[in-house]
Structure 1
């Protein structure tokens, strides 16, 4: 979708007319100098796809929990002055999480961290046989997923040969000279290996490019092959409208510290499709026991129905309570409204960046030997195949210019993130970024590139 580049006056007007303009005041915006910049005032914070900002109500909730801990200690699990007893802390979160996922509340659990939850799911549902043992995953997946997936075939040496373990990973990747995954190519890999695949594991949003994958046909093809489909939603939850039940996804994991602002290392969660059999391979833990019998301390494991029966440990309060504030806010504004604003913010940034004299259109990309001039192209696709992220590939790649450009951006107060070796990710967040932030970000990108060009690319 092509958007005309807005003027400064238009950006200001859009902020004034924005029905969600009040939500920015709910967050604490970082100081530019404390983030490493050389200017005064607030940052233009476009890094919520890596770590979301602190919600002011989350700060309030945290202080309240510390007070409860201080004054009530263990009794806070059962009696809580603010109506949030720790033993049921996740209960008010799950309905909102389920709506964000397009899932049933019983299919969702708030527990642990993304990679730990991924290992739990793989241990339970990756049960290879000598005839069906392969795992389809993207090459270039976030390291958490890649390392976890690679580690599991080796746990089945009693079933698989060394050769099978060595060749268990089927890596899908973009075509030569391209940056995005093609649905048709992923479907072909599944079809060509349909008798050997045990599991397909893919991201909702590819973290490096920001590409949103077309999940439904992949799930359908996976099930036709007799395999299971798992989904990493780290960059999807709170960013993309999802329909896990409609798509037929078998299981999924997510973190909450990006678009849901739960804080560094905040508690994540997982989804398990209703009726999915574990064939007795569940990793049982006390917090997976039915709440009605949990404190009876019996030897018999009586699981909670649904996904929560796969939880192992009690909910970490201090790693969870900040999430409640954002979920309450999202529920109040309605996620569809949030997504619409996110599309407008990202669309405006896209249009402004494409006005830059340093922007390189897709049909003008230099060949490697000709890549000598500073500039950038955007590797993130257009709507509907993106969320709130644009990934800028910085040229000339062979000169290693990207870190220098990134440093100049931070100097001016724009905080995105760098993904080596060539990409800078910028992610305007609908909850706390403004249209005028978008305008300033585009200016800073231009200024940073101009300064590096003036210094000389060989510096």
Structure 2
């Protein structure tokens, strides 16, 4: 794919000057390939936070109600750009909470075991926080995670296959209460056909939820049409909102007037009666009804600033084109120049990969850790996931072909030095 194709509308790294990239050696620009873990800082994030600090200083409590960024309505400023990123409707998304807290809220509402239908189906090797959350929710229902959390294992190729999910649900779907699946597997970088997974879950009569932590802002999403019951995500990876930033959730419009169980808090109360302090909870329609506490404005302002860049870039179609060009270029150079020593474990078909490529050194774990440490010492930032995976994720908003080339050149040089 030609990343300079004018039809793409966006060139990899086109917005690089809008970010502060962690530095390299002796003040030189760094190569930051870690947007899969923590996105680089948008320069506009500083202005966004400073603006709210100034409003706090000058308006005090009146800042909740005054001005275009009144804090009581602040989450509404994010709904439309988030909905566009997620392929959703405004009523279906809200910026709120943190990833695992939001997941717990969704499980309270949508994991409703009854009779023999009580299993939660997840992938083996899921992100630990997801595994902890589902196990604890099974415990809350008096059930045993050893029996009622079912983990589908990868095949010998190390990857999970949608047909295996379909096969399991075909045979045991009447025992499954909920399917929880990632949009992108955090360790391998594999992108899943979430539409296919949602269809299989609904056919089996199970609820379905998606963890989009590694998918939102990375790959195109179409949540409204695909129809999961819920989805959750964080905002500090590809959405570049900073460490501990506000997270988000999706609840399909068919649940807009949800009458099942949920955890309730005053920020989920109908906005027209929220400040009347009534004792009875009447939730906002849609995803906003799952809000609990007052929005943490200083943890939300950077997300608002970052989402504007996604809009300016032309949205996910343009960024996806640039992303595939960049990750494809990285894969090509790894194969051509490092293939005897490094294996890419991420599927390379365009529809099965996002920004992240996960790699493994043939020389083993110790060699991989040593390489990662030496790359970091030379101003090149990737990350590690045990037992032996190096993850590199060129993000199209701020990474360039030159970043990829620098990573390849330095990696080759360091590996050559090890060979003596």
TM over 0.5: yes
Instruction: Kindly state the Cα deviation for residue 19 of structure 1 after the two structures are TM-superposed.
Output: 4.9
Instruction: Kindly state the Cα deviation for residue 318 of structure 1 after the two structures are TM-superposed.
Output: 0.8
Instruction: Kindly state the Cα deviation for residue 20 of structure 1 after the two structures are TM-superposed.
Output: 6.3
Contact 1:245/1:273, CA 8 A, preserved across alignment: yes
Instruction: Kindly state the Cα deviation for residue 21 of structure 1 after the two structures are TM-superposed.
Output: 5.0
Instruction: Work out the CA distance in 2 between the residues paired with 1:280 and 1:231.
Output: 19
DSSP 3-state at the match of 1:252: strand
Instruction: Work out the CA distance in 1 between the residues paired with 2:82 and 2:124.
Output: 29
Deviations 1:262-306 (A, max 9, x none): 000100011111123755312111011111111111112121111
Instruction: Kindly state the Cα deviation for residue 12 of structure 1 after the two structures are TM-superposed.
Output: 10
Instruction: Work out the CA distance in 2 between the residues paired with 1:59 and 1:193.
Output: 51
Is residue 2:19 matched to residue 1:27? yes
Contact 1:12/1:435, CA 8 A, preserved across alignment: no
192, 202, 206: which one pairs with 2:185?
206
DSSP 3-state at the match of 2:351: coil
Is residue 2:183 matched to residue 1:196? no
Alignment of 1:93-242 (within 5 A): 93-157=78-142, 160=143, 164-175=144-155, 177-242=156-221
DSSP 3-state at the match of 1:117: helix
Find the counterpart in structure 2 of residue 386 from structure 1: 353
288, 298, 316: which one pairs with 1:308?
288
Alignment of 1:239-258 (within 5 A): 239-258=218-237
- The 1:445–1:288 alpha-carbon spacing in structure 2 relative to 1, beyond 3 Å, is same
Instruction: Kindly state the Cα deviation for residue 376 of structure 1 after the two structures are TM-superposed.
Output: 1.3
344, 356, 368: which one pairs with 2:325?
344
Find the counterpart in structure 2 of residue 269 from structure 1: 248
Find the counterpart in structure 1 of residue 363 from structure 2: 396
Instruction: Kindly state the Cα deviation for residue 22 of structure 1 after the two structures are TM-superposed.
Output: 4.1
Find the counterpart in structure 2 of residue 354 from structure 1: 335
Contact 1:400/1:421, CA 8 A, preserved across alignment: no
Deviations 1:78-101 (A, max 9, x none): 114xx2111111112110100111
Find the counterpart in structure 2 of residue 416 from structure 1: 382
20, 23, 32: which one pairs with 1:45?
32
Instruction: Work out the CA distance in 1 between the residues paired with 2:243 and 2:42.
Output: 13
Alignment of 1:261-340 (within 5 A): 261-276=240-255, 278-335=258-315, 336-340=317-321
- The 1:165–1:337 alpha-carbon spacing in structure 2 relative to 1, beyond 3 Å, is closer
Unpaired runs of 5+ residues, structure 2, are none
Instruction: Work out the CA distance in 1 between the residues paired with 2:290 and 2:13.
Output: 40
Deviations 1:236-280 (A, max 9, x none): 000010111111111000000001110001000111111237553
Unpaired runs of 5+ residues, structure 1, are 34-38, 361-374, 455-459
Contact 2:10/2:318, CA 8 A, preserved across alignment: no
TM-score, normalised to structure 2, is 0.95
Contact 1:272/1:306, CA 8 A, preserved across alignment: yes
Instruction: Kindly state the Cα deviation for residue 165 of structure 1 after the two structures are TM-superposed.
Output: 4.3
Instruction: Kindly state the Cα deviation for residue 351 of structure 1 after the two structures are TM-superposed.
Output: 0.8
Contact 2:24/2:379, CA 8 A, preserved across alignment: yes
Instruction: Work out the CA distance in 1 between the residues paired with 2:409 and 2:4.
Output: 15
Instruction: Work out the CA distance in 2 between the residues paired with 1:44 and 1:21.
Output: 12
Q: Max radius of gyration: which structure?
A: 1
Instruction: Work out the CA distance in 2 between the residues paired with 1:414 and 1:259.
Output: 18
Instruction: Work out the CA distance in 1 between the residues paired with 2:373 and 2:45.
Output: 31
TM-score, normalised to structure 1, is 0.87
- The 1:430–1:221 alpha-carbon spacing in structure 2 relative to 1, beyond 3 Å, is same
Contact 1:20/1:333, CA 8 A, preserved across alignment: no
Instruction: Kindly state the Cα deviation for residue 438 of structure 1 after the two structures are TM-superposed.
Output: 1.3
Give the structure with the larger helix fraction: 2
DSSP 3-state at the match of 1:302: coil
DSSP 3-state at the match of 1:195: helix
Instruction: Work out the CA distance in 1 between the residues paired with 2:226 and 2:10.
Output: 33
Instruction: Work out the CA distance in 1 between the residues paired with 2:19 and 2:140.
Output: 45
Contact 2:371/2:414, CA 8 A, preserved across alignment: yes
Instruction: Kindly state the Cα deviation for residue 396 of structure 1 after the two structures are TM-superposed.
Output: 2.1
Instruction: Work out the CA distance in 2 between the residues paired with 1:19 and 1:45.
Output: 17
Instruction: Work out the CA distance in 1 between the residues paired with 2:261 and 2:5.
Output: 57
DSSP 3-state at the match of 2:336: coil
Instruction: Kindly state the Cα deviation for residue 385 of structure 1 after the two structures are TM-superposed.
Output: 0.5
Instruction: Kindly state the Cα deviation for residue 448 of structure 1 after the two structures are TM-superposed.
Output: 2.4
Task: Report the RMSD for the aligned CA atoms in angstroms.
Answer: 1.9
- The 1:151–1:18 alpha-carbon spacing in structure 2 relative to 1, beyond 3 Å, is closer
**How many matched pairs?**
415
Contact 1:284/1:310, CA 8 A, preserved across alignment: yes
